[in-house]
Chain A
Amino acid sequence: MARIFAYIEHKGGVAEDSAAELAAAARKIDANASPTAIVTGWGTELDAVCEGLRATYAEVWKIANASLAYPNAELIRKALVKVLPAGSIVLAPHDHFGIDLSPGLSIKLNAAFVSDVTAIDGAEGTYLKLVRQEFGGQVSTHVRCDISSGAVLNLRGGAFKPLDTAPVGGHVIDKSAEVADLVAGRRYLETLVPEAGDVDITKEPVLVSIGRGIQEQDNVAIAQELADAMGAAVSCSRPVVDAKWMPKSRQVGSSGQTVKPKIYLACGISGSFQHLAGLKGSPFIVAINKNPRAPIFQVADVGIVADILEFLPELTNKVREMKKVSV
């Protein structure tokens, strides 16, 4: 089995959650695998990340370079090509960075590339058996990937549960010297953060969506609190927009936005045809409604008969508790 590398994303000196997920995924490829973490960056933040990774990874390759202070995939790709041994398997998160980095990386490494992998069934000789989704998640497909000359795999966030193992106590290897001046045809300028309220619900993976059951404008805050606790955004059905409790940009429906979240909490939404028309892919739909006969329960995955004005605050508290525990 080829050597497995995991590309680690990080922010503020802390590795992203994907780091643990990639480690777990590596074990799915090869139960005995000891993946190597690869981290690029600069300065003390990079050092802190590498230090933290020692618990999960036996070997952590650190690539420090001033030009990599901001993760520019074009530069990082060049760096990786310099250090990665031929035939390696590289795991990366399927996110805005992985989409930017990996396809080109696979070409430069002359390796296979599989995107947005949701499950790894195992290896079979020089093939990996993987699972992906297509058509916005409506169907899944088994994929065979020839890894004889290596592979780059982008893994879906949240699809691989981090393993509960004792700290590995790995060591950090500084590979910075192998990466000299990096130059690319794309240069990072700055990051603009949108104004508060500028939420694009079509890009949100988790939505707390409210309907008429929210009953009045002041209650919208209840949904917002839950969304904040969950790291989600609040969307709504048309009556809420018409009542001017939320802006039009939050509306899900045939005359509103089309959303493709992973999880959709339909709170106090009856599930009209026009509203559901805005929900694409196969989100995990949780329906919370006072009315047990609301049509939403026919399309939801999970149903809860409850008054959202009472249940949502409870749920919010529970989520907050959970988050306190996990961090």
Chain B
Amino acid sequence: MDILVCAKRVPDTSENEIELNRAGNDIERDDLVYSVNEADNYAVEEALQIADRTGGKVTVVTVGSDDDEEILRREMAMGAHQSVLLSDDAFTGSDGKGIATVLKAFVQKRPYDLILTGVQAEDGAAQVGGMLAALLDYPFASLVNSIEVLDGKKLKVCREIAGGDKEMSEIDLPCVLSIQTGINEPRYVGMRGIRQVASVEIPTLGAADLGVDAGAVGEAAAKVKRADYFVPALGKGAEMLAGSSEEIADKLIELMKAKGGLN
């Protein structure tokens, strides 16, 4: 089964302190370290395991610039057979649909049996997988935490729904799945593995190679745009609640309801 995994290079929240920059219009990007989006990494591991079971190759693709090559290399060090960078000035400023459009153009020329994405990235949008599936007219399932290959034509997938329940469905191939973290235990990619793929040539495809209409992607075509970053005003330290324990309990319940934790 030939599998395509769409990955994204993001600032890793566990190794970065996300703060606003001094101008207050973006996050401070100077000291950020980047890595492959965690959910995408789980997707690559899942793809590798499926390919191990069924035979076939795993390809990793990303839409970005030269900086993004490093995650492609990392996933190849993990075991992906090949990777592709989709890069073009025309793609800059794309919204989710724009990214999905570029990916769709890539996929259309290649018969992948299965396409995986991570469920969401650092922006929490959780959109590209579903959009890609709709553009391709492939069936889609999100929040997948288990995949069973039934045969060359179908999979049985489990979606993680509310309360930890598991929604089991059958889905036809080719399809798009967005993968939830925790589906497997990704193998470790050591520095040695990364060094070994450091000089592998990664093909780069642009708008013309893909046959993408520049008007359909990029900033101009984007319907959703970020105006700025900001941090809502916060209180200083813990607001210490005072009063009788009954009063405190009441106040606490009020606060929790406002935060959406009690309904």
Complex contact flag A–B (Cβ < 8 Å)? yes
Q: Mark B50-65, 1 if CB is under 8 A from A, else 0.
A: 0000000000000000
Shortest distance between the CB of B173 and any CB in chain A (Å): 9
Q: Mark A137-168, 1 if CB is under 8 A from B, else 0.
A: 01111111110010000001111000000000
Task: Determine the distance from Cα of A189 to Cα of B141 in the docked complex, in whole angstroms.
Answer: 13
Q: Which of A39-47, A54-62, A169-177, A196-204 forms contacts with chain B?
A: A196-204
Q: Find out whether the CB atom of A284 lies under 8 angstroms from the CB atom of B223.
A: no
Report A-chain residues with C-beta under 8 Å of the C-beta of B13.
135-136, 138, 280
Q: Mark A110-144, 1 if CB is under 8 A from B, else 0.
A: 00111110000000000001001111101111111
Q: A135-B27, A135-B122, A311-B245 in contact; A113/B259 too (CB < 8 A)?
A: no
Residue B171 interfacial (CB < 8 Å): yes
Shortest distance between the CB of A189 and any CB in chain B (Å): 4
Shortest distance between the CB of B157 and any CB in chain A (Å): 8
Within 8 A of A (CB), among B211-263: 223-232, 234-235, 237-241, 245-246, 248-250, 252-253, 255-256, 259-263
Task: Determine the distance from Cα of A116 to Cα of B130 in the docked complex, in whole angstroms.
Answer: 15
Report A-chain residues with C-beta under 8 Å of the C-beta of B162.
95-96
Q: Number of A residues contacting the other chain (C-beta, 8 Å)?
A: 89
Q: A116-B124, A319-B262 in contact; A186/B134 too (CB < 8 A)?
A: no
Report A-chain residues with C-beta under 8 Å of the C-beta of B100.
107
Within 8 A of A (CB), among B127-169: 127-131, 133-135, 138-143, 156, 158-162, 164-169
Task: Determine the distance from Cα of A7 to Cα of B57 in the docked complex, in whole angstroms.
Answer: 40
* Interface size range on B against A: 35 or more
Q: Find out whether the CB atom of A286 lies under 8 angstroms from the CB atom of B256.
A: yes
Cross-interface CB contact of A262 among B125, B250, B261, cutoff 8 Å: B261
Shortest distance between the CB of B124 and any CB in chain A (Å): 5
Report A-chain residues with C-beta under 8 Å of the C-beta of B252.
286, 302, 304, 315
Q: Find out whether the CB atom of A139 lies under 8 angstroms from the CB atom of B18.
A: yes
Report A-chain residues with C-beta under 8 Å of the C-beta of B138.
185
Q: Report the number of A-B residue pairs with Cβ-Cβ less than 8 Å.
A: 252
Report B-chain residues with C-beta under 8 Å of the C-beta of A198.
164
Find the B residue at minimum CB distance from A157. Answer: B260
Q: Find out whether the CB atom of B140 lies under 8 angstroms from the CB atom of A114.
A: no
Q: Find out whether the CB atom of B171 lies under 8 angstroms from the CB atom of A113.
A: no
Cross-interface CB contact of A72 among B169, B230, B241, cutoff 8 Å: B169
Residue A298 interfacial (CB < 8 Å): yes
Residue A191 interfacial (CB < 8 Å): yes
Residue A251 interfacial (CB < 8 Å): no
Within 8 A of B (CB), among A92-108: 95-97, 99-100, 102-108
Cross-interface CB contact of B227 among A96, A138, A143, A303, cutoff 8 Å: A143
Q: A103-B131, A303-B241 in contact; A185/B171 too (CB < 8 A)?
A: yes
Shortest distance between the CB of A203 and any CB in chain B (Å): 7
Interface residues of A (CB under 8 A from B): 17, 72, 74, 77, 95-97, 99-100, 102-108, 112-116, 129, 132-136, 138-146, 149, 156-159, 184-194, 198-200, 202-203, 205-206, 230-232, 258, 261-263, 280, 284-287, 297-306, 310-311, 314-315, 318-319, 322, 326
Q: A103-B129, A326-B263 are in contact. List 18 more A-B contacts (CB 8 A).
A: A103-B96, A106-B131, A135-B13, A138-B13, A143-B227, A145-B223, A185-B175, A186-B139, A189-B156, A191-B165, A193-B165, A261-B261, A263-B260, A263-B261, A280-B14, A284-B261, A286-B252, A304-B240
Task: Please list 24 pairs of residues, one from A and one from B, whose beta carbons are closer than 8 Å in the complex, sorted by A's number.
Answer: A72-B169, A99-B143, A102-B130, A103-B134, A105-B134, A107-B135, A115-B125, A136-B13, A140-B230, A141-B227, A145-B225, A158-B259, A158-B260, A186-B170, A189-B156, A189-B169, A200-B164, A231-B262, A261-B261, A263-B260, A297-B238, A298-B237, A298-B238, A302-B255
